[in-house]
Amino acid sequence: MAQYAIGDIQGCYKELINLIHKIEFNKNTDTLYLVGDLVNRGSESLEVLRWIYQHQDSIVTVLGNHDFYLLGRYAGVLEPDSQETIGEVINSADASKLIDYLRSRPFVYQNEQFIMTHAGVHPLMDINTLMELNNYAMRYLLSNNYKHFISLMFGNKPNIWSSDLDLEKQIKFLINSSTRMRFLNRSDLSLDYKFKGEIDNLSNKLIPWFKVQFNPSINKRIIFGHWAALGLYQDENVSALDSGCVWGRYLTALNIDSGEIIQVKYNKRK
Ligand SMILES: [Mn+2]
């Protein structure tokens, strides 16, 4: 009955399978919690998505920015980016089935033990607001009008949280903060999208989101990914699991109950 959280896979199918073997994953008894960014940049996004689809009864995943990008590309609301590696997903015979699976995934997941999102939880957001906005986003993503909804959700603004924002902007902030956040401006806790670097090189105007005091209703461990430059990082409040597999480093699993860390190294592609 083991539970594992796994960092950003990003189309690294070989490493996913190596990791699954290393943890001796049993699909009948174990659960995998995936922090999102299942696809893109790596070379086997389609195989990764098919494997996850096949094992969906034992998997919980949240959407990352690259997964949401795939939804935007499939919906035809984004122009192709020269670095994307998701064409084989969009053009596959089973694309609509795989896309429908992604369309029914949350941005934020919580259970009694932890909260999981791809990038994190903005410190000004309380748990009820977070889950309520997540529910709205999921409802719109599953609606017949989902392409229009997705088209409204790309772009950097609003980058400041306020409960005075209208619902559409609140949902957009939820999506931006839960899929793209790394640093906040200290002055107003607005999202900074530019700096992706290591904390050591930080300007004193910026602060990692998880170094700001959370709303007291956020009283569980937050498991997230998205931040390859941060790497595997844990403190008393958070577990960051993006150890940069697609950039030639490691794919990481965290055994949620024992705290054990299991990693496999990236295999260079020919
Ligand atoms: Mn990401």
* CA 230 – CA 198 distance, rounded (Å): 6
What is the structure's pLDDT at 157? 96
* CA 89 – CA 234 distance, rounded (Å): 33
Mean pLDDT, the chain, whole residue set: 96
How far is ligand 1, taken at its centre, from the CA of residue 66, in Å? Answer: 6
In a domain, 257, yes or no: yes
In this prediction, residues 166-188 reach a mean pLDDT of 97
**How many domains in the chain?**
1
Write down the pTM of the prediction.
Answer: 0.97
Quote the DSSP letter at residue 61.
Answer: E
pLDDT, tens only, 152-173: 999 999 999 999 999 999 999 9
Q: What is the CATH number of the domain that holds 176?
A: 3.60.21.10
In a domain, 78, yes or no: yes
Residue 43 confidence (pLDDT) above 90:
yes
In a domain, 182, yes or no: yes
In a domain, 214, yes or no: yes
Q: Report helix, strand or coil for 110.
A: strand
Residue with tokens 């980058």: 159
In a domain, 54, yes or no: yes
Reported confidence tier of residue 198, pLDDT bands at 50, 70, 90: confident
pLDDT, tens only, 212-257: 999 999 999 999 999 999 999 999 999 999 999 999 999 999 999 9
What is the structure's pLDDT at 200? 74
105: containing domain = 3-265
How far is ligand 1, taken at its centre, from the CA of residue 150, in Å? Answer: 17
How far is ligand 1, taken at its centre, from the CA of residue 244, in Å? Answer: 11
Question: Can you give the length of the chain in residues?
Answer: 270
How far is ligand 1, taken at its centre, from the CA of residue 63, in Å? Answer: 9
How far is ligand 1, taken at its centre, from the CA of residue 36, in Å? Answer: 7
Q: What share of the chain is helix, strand, coil (3-state, %, to 5)?
A: 35, 15, 50
How far is ligand 1, taken at its centre, from the CA of residue 29, in Å? Answer: 29
How far is ligand 1, taken at its centre, from the CA of residue 50, in Å? Answer: 20
In this prediction, residues 170-190 reach a mean pLDDT of 97
How far is ligand 1, taken at its centre, from the CA of residue 193, in Å? Answer: 12
Radius of gyration of the chain (CA): 17
How far is ligand 1, taken at its centre, from the CA of residue 156, in Å? Answer: 15
What is the structure's pLDDT at 17? 98
* CA 263 – CA 53 distance, rounded (Å): 23
In a domain, 270, yes or no: no
What is the structure's pLDDT at 11? 98
* CA 270 – CA 267 distance, rounded (Å): 9
How far is ligand 1, taken at its centre, from the CA of residue 55, in Å? Answer: 22
Looking at this protein, which amino acid is placed at residue 12? C
